[in-house]
Structure 1
Amino acid sequence: MCLRKCILILILSTLFVHISFSQRKIMYTKPVVKDVQTKFINLNISDGLSNDVVNDIIQDKKGLMWICTMDGINSYDGREFIVYHNDKNDSLSPQSDEVYCIEIDGKGDLYFGTKKGICVYIPDNDKFKRINLKGNDFNKDDVYIRQIKYYGNNGLWVEILEGGLLHYNILTDSVDRFYKHAPTHQPYYRYHPIYYDRDSTLWIGGRGLNPGYLKKGSSELKFIKSNPEDINKKRENDVASYYEDSRGTFWVSALDGIYILDRKTEIYKKFFKTSTWYIFEDNNDNMWFTGGSGVFKYLPDADQIIWFSKDKDNPASLSSNSVYKVYEDYHGNLWFATNNGLSIYSPELFPFGSYSHIPGIDNSPQGVNVTAVAEDEKGGLWIGYEENGLDYFTPRHEHFQHYNKSNSGLSANEVSSLNLDEENNKLWIGLWRGIGFNSLNINTMNFELFSLNTANTREDWYNDFIEDDFGNFYIGFWGGQGLFTFDKEKGKFLKSLKEKFPRLNLSRLITRFLKDNSGNIWFGTTSGGLYIYYPREDTSKAYFSDIEDNRGLTSNSINDLCIDNEDNVWIISNTLQKYIPENDSFLSYGKQDGLTSYSLVSLLADNLGNIWVATSDKGLFKFNVVEELFTQYTSHSGLQSNKFSKGRLKLSTGELFFGGTNGFNLFSPGYIIKRSSIPKPFFGNLYLNYEKVFPNLNTSPNRLFSPDITNIKIELSSTDAVNPERYYYQCILEGYDEDWVNVDSKYREISYSFVPAGTYTFKYRIGDGERW
């Protein structure tokens, strides 16, 4: 009997606690979108980082990145890591190799918090000065530093492991305030925040600590107690991070999730339940939450959370799911400190949304070579592949649903074209198999096969579909019957129109359809020129590239057609051409204008008046129609590869879709066209007679070299440590060089040997091809 009572009490107690916890309503209840396509740049010990466990990151005033780890301090200029370790025989080295935090003061000096105290970096000799934290009843040599915060007036706030907040006065080199509080539990949790809000209130926290604050002008450190049974309070005694965003929302995070705190009433609202170690707002007002489950990006305007995590099958994913901090550099790149090195998210480096097949990840394109695409009224995309069937992709949720011959009624996996009939909820699917084409009833998800000739596989090859203004539906055969009409309602082939076009055999090799704003049907062919069919008159016109036709068509192989916002028709063959209706001719743009590829496969006109040309060998070209200027983008710009295929579409949103041989790119042209900022240059290391010397040219620009210095090497650095190779570099030694000297963008260094005695001025500049 006693046993039964004890069990009953235990169950009731557990139930009571569970109900109390569950009453905390979660503000964010929508599904989280998993992003597996965003590319991260990952750096670790194999790249020269001293240790993979990264605790903190900062960029100094010059632009050099500094990283502190569990085994040393690192600087990084986009070229190499320079590592600083504790040396027991060198008092000008850091006190410890366990370095937990970095802070920069108003003068630009860097302070490092280690397991045994604070040190400041001295750039004149590339050494460190150790700081003795003494004064105001505080006097200890070896202090376990957890966090440092600079806040004007030459002062540093410092949190220590044993429980205390102290203020170090830089000018007097002494501790002038000390507040004792409870020690931090479980120091292996490395978070330990010090944060200033806009009211100049100082906030502190840590593992096992209640939120603490020190108001401006106050000498009393206060705490907000947690209470698991009060839904208006935080559940646990734990604080990992604070952040006041641009909207004035004050965020608090810990192992028990993310909260929003009303600082006047001290009432909490729980926003997100995932354990979170750090909160940050980027320059685009997006919130970032990091912890033991990867990285979450919150888009406040869309009220949407996107989740990034490590995936063993994707080397370009986040390097680890344990992410301690995030830092935004001068160029908007986000640096994530993880327990497996650094992960860098660079929107500017990868402005083209890129989607590729990732083996082992179901929520990625099932195919490699994209051949076709169609958009439905909901903004979803049907995507066809050369050998892998169909996908239905919802961009908003980053979700792929796969259809192929083995899991659906699709008759073949070789998809050549797609056409969406919104009125009848049907998707028409061209197949490159010689067996016919499919329709898909989107309501019932049933496939149906239509074949012109089931006894002959040489006729049923399909390249495009199109409907005219009168409801006539046309099929573009490659070979066989050429232009053919089809009754969509009855599912019957009607008649071939091949006799209406000259050069009968060649006009049947249709590549692509286009309907102009007058309702006329244009189509290109593989080698038979360009044609227009006039449905109203049932007549046609043809254009050829030969001695008998002087209208300017440069090739009989027409790969694609498009129409721009001004109703101009554009075509591509081995050049880009614009149709001039006034004299029924074509204007050409090619290699002499900057279009350096002859292998042009698809094109689109954007809503900004530009023409985009995809190639099968040299990436993507944007043509500025007004300036008649081409800009080239390659895989270095974030394209799926330099090889594109014929699948392309301008979406209802104005975004452009280009398919390639390694997936597809989906992007907003306005974002691509927006110029990025040119990084600020600064000097890297200085070498005299092949020996590195200090101070370098940043701290000591006026130098007198002795006659025995026969070789001078200067490294060129910039504020862009993520992708410095994409810029152009030039130097000039005035008085020696006659003009600016081009410097290799990969190595970014220049050497001078046996320069005659004299007075010289060395200058260095960076450009992006248009500006310096």
Structure 2
Amino acid sequence: MKILPFSNISTLLWYILVPYIVFNMSVYGQEAISFKHITTTDGLSQSDVNDIYQDKFGYMWFGTHDGLNKYDGYGFTVYNPDSEKPGSINSNLIYNIVGDDEGNLWIGTTGSGLNFFNATTGKFVHYRHKDGDSSSLSSDHITTLYLDSKERLWIGSRNGLDMLDLSLPSKDFVFQHYNSVQTPFIAGWDGTMIHTIYEDKNGQLLVGSPSGLFKLAKDANGKDYFGSITSTIGLPNAAVRDISEDSLGRLLVATGQGVYGQVKGKGEMLQKFYDGDFSTLLVDNDNRIWLGSNDGLLLFENTSGDTLPKFTDRFVYDSRNPASISKNIIKSLFLDNTGIIWIGTNGGGVNTFDPGRKKFRHIRNTSDPNSLSYDKIRAMYEDSHGTLWIGTEGGGLNMLTKKNDNGSYNAFKHFNSIQRTFALTETQIGNRKVLFIGTEGSPGLFQLDISNPNKVSENNLVPQEFLGGVFSLLTDSEQNIWIGTYGSGVHRWMRTKNEGEYEKEVFSHYSNSTNSVPSDIIRSILEDSQGNIWLATGNGLSMISAKERYKKRPKFISYTNNPENASSISHNYILSLYESHSGELWIGTFGGGLNRYVKGKGDTADSFISYSEKDGLPNNVIKGI
């Protein structure tokens, strides 16, 4: 097991509304987790995945029986021995991978020693055992690798433990050996292989072998050695396969005779909390414990330091479920820097699962008369009272007050006179809170007094004198209303001194004017943090600057696709707009994927960076961000 330390990564999270299938599952259970499989069909060189690692650049690396695999999320680069290519890797049998802060890798093989991969040059340097050379590796059969906080690389093999001080120049590298016949040595070691190496939160180095657990200590002369602590902490005389700690700082040890953990108040003594033979152990970001075995993947809840972890479930291959784990023999586990768990199997390639991914609950129309009125949703809005409004395409408008929301979503009030609701926004008129409702047809706009959520009624709907359908609404920072239509341009209703009255203007497209709105189809409207008004239109992205927004005839600045300019917006039909917390404007299109607006500086023109299916989007139609 390896956990990559968290890196300082700034992440933009966007929700993209595309067609999907969601299985209604319990939180955890055999049917609760859908595993994604990465196999030879996807480019993985071989299906036995002995080790997994993520480098500083975010690339995933897999050690297999047919080479070293680098995965970028889309495809593979496979490193195999090549006698005609100097600097290639020297073995196909890859068992261990660790890396440093520069992105370089150390790779353990079985039979060909240790390889160093230079991330800058892309070449490998080989380190082998040499008979008669005490500074070389103890064995070419590497079983485990660990890079500690002091820049020491620890190499476990079939012939003991070696240490390489990476703080030294490579020309001064000397392998320091720890085994029963050398000084420093491993006291009580039976001469067989090393299974695992781990540095705990206090910087204490622990080593697991078929003979139990060993700790780095100093002898009477002040020299380092590894002494057995198997019996002193309550472990049986069994093989120690993996070691970790939970977020509470408790030591966890996976052995051939069960998994052991510490309990608060019991000191360093370990207690068994599950029986079995386990090969690998991982603690996720929620402090849950995952154990790999020859009979599937096991999960344990681990919420209190006063009690031992509790078994929750076992995940095994199920031929009837294509989303089950691909094979039962688990060889490696890895937690990446986003919290996703990667699972290496024997014969089933790689499996992945994101434990932080939220489970979707479905809110649907049912036989309950107070359920959601219709399943096709076009608009959602939460008003200042916390009331949830849901507009449907054919089933009217739904209202759920905070008072009536008991979590079951079966207390909706229905407004059936408005069958198709496309947009919602709230404004303040005097001492009244008013909801504007955009609909299909004429009139396309309604007002509803929502000042008292308990007295809101369909009888209070007030149609406005507005011809045509309304697809988008915005209440700006000055409480003015912007109304986007499907074919009649954008309407601006500016507040006057008379309560409830507006000065109304319509801005339409004029083919002979480059300063008009580029299309009369307005799908979305957004006011950014600088006070600019952005319009998603049927023929490009358009903006009214903060200085122009209240003018009688404001100037529209528009952005359209230019096939000969890769930095232009990727598509002319704009569906959705979003400004991030950092002030970046994101634009969703109808076929051109996702765009990020980049404001020009000085003489540099404004530009766009686009993201499409080739960059990992599931679809190029972005309906919501």
> How far is the alpha carbon of 1:429 from its aligned partner?
2.3
By how many angstroms is 1:598 displaced? 0.8
Structure 2 residue runs of 5 or longer lacking an equivalent are 1-26, 83-88, 165-172, 304-309
Q: Does the alignment pair 1:81 with 2:78?
A: yes
State the match for 1:252 in structure 2.
252
* Distance 1:32-1:84 versus aligned 2 partners, 3 A rule: same
- 1:400 is aligned to 360
Q: Which residue of 2 aligns with 1:702?
A: none
Relative to structure 1, is the Cα distance of residues 416 and 567 closer, same or farther in structure 2, using a 3 angstrom cutoff? same
**Aligned mate of 1:619, from 565, 588, 593:** 593
Secondary structure of the structure 2 residue equivalent to 1:252: strand
Does structure 1 conserve the Cα–Cα contact (< 8 Å) formed by 2:282 and 2:335? no
Say if 1:320 and 1:613 are closer, same or farther in 2 by CA, change over 3 A.
farther
Residue of 422, 436, 447 corresponding to 1:485: 447
Query: Counterpart of 1:432?
Result: 393
**Structure 2 CA distance, aligned partners of 1:600 and 1:614?**
6
Q: In structure 2, what is the equivalent of residue 510 of structure 1?
A: 470
**Equivalent residue, structure 2, for 1:212:** 214
Deviations 1:514-548 (A, max 9, x none): 11122222211100111133563423423232459
- Per-residue CA deviation, residues 137-171 of structure 1 (Å, 9 max, x unaligned), is xxx99x976446689999975443xxx63559986
Q: Residues 471 and 183 (structure 1 numbering): CA distance in 2 closer, same or farther, change over 3 Å?
A: same
**Pairwise CA distance, 1:400:** 1.9
- Relative to structure 1, the CA distance from residue 310 to residue 528 in structure 2 (aligned partners, 3 Å threshold; closer, same or farther) is farther
- Contact (CA 8 Å) 1:253, 1:277: kept in 2 or not? no
Structure 1 residue 630: Cα displacement: 1.8
Residue in structure 2 matched with residue 194 of structure 1 by the alignment: 197
Hey, what does 2:113 align to over in structure 1? 119
- Displacement after TM superposition at 1:611 (Å): 1.9
Q: Is the contact between residue 242 and residue 250 of structure 1 (CA under 8 Å) also seen in structure 2?
A: no
Aligned twin of 2:227: 222
Deviation string 1:219-253 (CA, Å, 9 cap, x unpaired) is 654222358xxxx85589553333579x9957433
Change (3 A) 1:545 1:474: closer
2:245 maps to 1:241: no
Count residues with an aligned counterpart. Answer: 522
Change (3 A) 1:315 1:308: farther
1:545 is the counterpart of 2:508: yes
Q: 1:413, CA displacement in angstroms?
A: 1.5
What CA distance in whole angstroms lies between the structure 2 residues aligned with 1:463 and 1:44? 43
Contact 1:147/1:159 (<8 A) preserved = yes
What corresponds to 2:372 in structure 1?
410
C-alpha distance in 1, partners of 2:116/2:463?
82
Contact 2:162 2:175 (C-alpha < 8 Å) held by counterparts: no
Please give the residue correspondences for 1:73-222 in structure 2 after superposition, counting only pairs within 5 Å. Answer: 73-74=67-68, 76=70, 79-83=76-80, 100-101=95-96, 112-114=108-110, 119=113, 131=129, 146-147=143-144, 157-160=155-158, 165=160, 167=162, 177=182, 179=186, 181=188, 192-195=195-198, 202-206=205-209, 209-216=211-218, 217-218=222-223, 221-222=226-227
> Against the structure 1 CA distance between its residues 564 and 328, is the aligned structure 2 distance closer, same or farther, given a 3 Å change threshold?
same
Whole-Å Cα distance in 1 between the matches of residues 437 and 60 of structure 2? Answer: 58
Please state if 1:606 is matched with 2:606.
no
How far apart are 1:642 and its partner, in Å?
Answer: 1.3
Give, in whole Å, the separation in 2 of the partners of 1:403 and 1:331.
29
Question: Shift of residue 316 of structure 1?
Answer: 8.7
Paired with 1:61 and 1:429, the residues of 2 have a C-alpha distance of: 44
Do the aligned partners of 2:541 and 2:572 also contact (CA within 8 Å) in 1?
no
Specify the alignment match of 1:586 in structure 2.
555
Paired amino acid for 1:565: S
Compared with structure 1, are the counterparts of its residues 236 and 419 closer, same or farther at alpha carbon in structure 2 (3 Å cutoff)? Answer: farther
**What is the Cα deviation at residue 511 of structure 1?**
0.5
Inter-CA distance 238–596: structure 2 relative to 1 (3 Å threshold): same
Q: Structure 1 counterpart of 2:196, which letter?
A: P
Matched residues in 1 for 2:153 and 2:510: separation?
A: 83
> Quick check: 2:156–2:195 contact (8 Å CA) kept in 1?
no
Q: What amino acid sits opposite 1:131 in the alignment? A: H
Q: CA deviation at 1:430?
A: 1.6
1:334-413 → structure 2 map (5 Å cutoff): 336-340=343-347, 343=350, 398-406=358-366, 408=368, 409-413=371-375
CA distance in 1, matches of 2:33, 2:506: 43
What is the CA deviation profile of residues 106-163 of structure 1, one whole-angstrom value per residue up to 9, with x for unaligned ones?
A: 9x8967453xx55356999999887367799xxx99x976446689999975443xxx
Q: String of CA shifts for 1:198-229, please: whole Å, max 9, x gaps.
A: 8875422146x4321232554654222358xx
Distance change (3 Å), C-alpha of 1:586 and 1:125 = closer
Which residue is equivalent to 1:561? Answer: 525
Report deviation, 1:599: 1.3
* Aligned mates of 1:37, 1:549 — CA distance in 2: 58
Contact kept in structure 2, 1:49 and 1:341, CA below 8 Å = no
Q: Partners of 1:295 and 1:589 in 2: how far apart?
A: 56
**8 Å Cα contact 1:275-1:291 kept in structure 2:** no
Shift of 1:82: 4.5
The Cα shift of 1:634 comes to 2.1
User: 2: distance between equivalents of 1:109 and 1:432?
Assistant: 55
- Give the structure-1-normalised TM-score: 0.53
Contact preservation (8 Å) 2:508, 2:516? yes
Q: Describe the shift of the 1:79–1:437 C-alpha distance in structure 2 as closer, same or farther (beyond 3 A).
A: closer
Aligned CA distance change for structure 1 residues 407 and 222 (closer, same or farther; 3 Å): farther
Q: Once the 2 structures are TM-superposed, how far is the Cα of residue 337 of structure 1 from its aligned partner?
A: 3.2
What does the per-residue CA deviation read over 1:478-510, in whole Å, with 9 as the maximum and x for residues that have no partner? Answer: 1032212335525224465443x5xx3x3xx11
Q: CA RMSD in A?
A: 5.8
Q: Deviations over 1:686-725 (max 9, x none)?
A: xxxxxxxxxxxxxxxxxxxxxxxxxxxxxxxxxxxxxxxx
Contact 2:527–2:533 (CA under 8 A) maintained in structure 1: yes
Partner of 2:381: 419
Question: 2:260, 2:270 within 8 Å by CA — same for their partners in 1?
Answer: no
2: CA distance between counterparts of 1:265 and 1:512? 63
Choose the corresponding residue for 1:576, options 520, 541, 560. Answer: 541
CA distance in 1, matches of 2:33, 2:558: 35
Per the alignment, residue 608 of structure 2 pairs with 630
Aligned-partner Cα distance in 1 for 2:377–2:41: 42
Partner amino acid for 1:617?
Answer: G
Q: Report if the CA contact (8 A) 1:249-1:260 is conserved.
A: no
Structure 1's 45 and 265: CA in aligned 2 closer, same or farther, altered over 3 A? same
Q: Rate the CA distance shift 1:330–1:575 in 2: closer, same or farther, 3 A.
A: same
Structure 1 residue 623 displacement after superposition = 1.6
**Structure 2 counterpart of 1:54:** 49
- 1:619 corresponds to which letter in structure 2? G
Letter in 2 for 1:223: S
- Deviation at residue 617 of structure 1 after TM alignment: 0.6
- In structure 2, how many angstroms separate the alpha carbons of the residues matched to 1:590 and 1:271? 63
Q: Following the alignment from structure 1 to structure 2, what is the Cα–Cα distance between the partners of residues 399 and 74? A: 35
Deviation of the 1:73 alpha carbon: 4.2
Mapped contact 2:510–2:516 kept (Cα < 8 A): no
Partner of 1:291: 292
Going from structure 1 to structure 2, the CA distance change for 1:84 and 1:316 (only over 3 Å counts) comes to farther
Stretches of structure 1 that go unaligned for 5 or more consecutive residues are 1-30, 86-91, 347-352, 354-362, 364-395, 453-458, 649-657, 659-772
